[in-house]
Amino acid sequence: MRALIQRVTHASVEVEGRCIGRIGPGLLILVCAMRGDDDAAAAKLAARVAKLRIFRDEADKMNLSVLDIAGGALVVSQFTLAADTRTGNRPGFSAAAAPDDGLRLYEAFADALREQGVPVETGEFGADMKVSLLNDGPVTIWMDSADRA
């Protein structure tokens, strides 16, 4: 699985003009299930994200996790993180998981993050969403469950 993680002051997601998820300080996590991913990949990535120390401590160092600051997470599905831009001008998305698998793994990731103790709000899988955020720092981190044994 792939995730683009942004440290935010606040974030929200709307579908058809209706706010369906909102958080204060915490993480906006754009997540994409890739072909071959499984529930173990979702759980592994969620554990890494929950422990990622990217929030400032009292010495202004990035030393605290979202758990340490009692922050929340807004998890939004984004299959375009699977984009292959190596050739041509139009990205290909064949590396993304099939929609049924993508939905299951997106939900598994959100559930695994909750199990880590992080309050989670979500977008709506497959919907045309409008995401608003105030990136804090800015801090933006790319993670892939395949990058680590």
Total domains in the fold of the chain:
1
pLDDT of res. 147: 72
User: Smallest Cα–Cα separation from 29: which of 44, 15, 43, 50?
Assistant: 50
pLDDT score of 146? 78
Query: What predicted TM-score, i.e. pTM, was given to this entire model?
Result: 0.95
Q: Residue 25 belongs to a domain with what CATH number? A: 3.50.80.10
- Model confidence pLDDT, tens digit, residues 28-80: 999 999 999 999 999 999 999 999 999 999 999 999 999 999 999 999 999 99
Range 111-115 contact pairs with CB under 8 angstroms and sequence separation of 24 or more: 112/42, 112/43, 112/45, 112/46, 112/47, 113/29, 113/46, 113/49, 113/50, 113/73, 113/75, 115/46
**Active site residues per annotation:** 78-80
Q: For the chain, how many helices (H) and strands (E)?
A: 2, 8
Tokens 């801090």 belong to which residue? 139
Q: Which domain holds residue 17?
A: 2-147
Instruction: Quote helix, strand, coil % in the chain, to nearest 5.
Output: 25, 40, 35
What confidence category does residue 145 fall into, taking pLDDT thresholds of 50, 70 and 90? confident
Question: Going by C-beta distance under 8 Å and a sequence separation of 6 or more, which residues neighbour residue 122?
Answer: 13, 20, 21, 74, 75, 76, 110
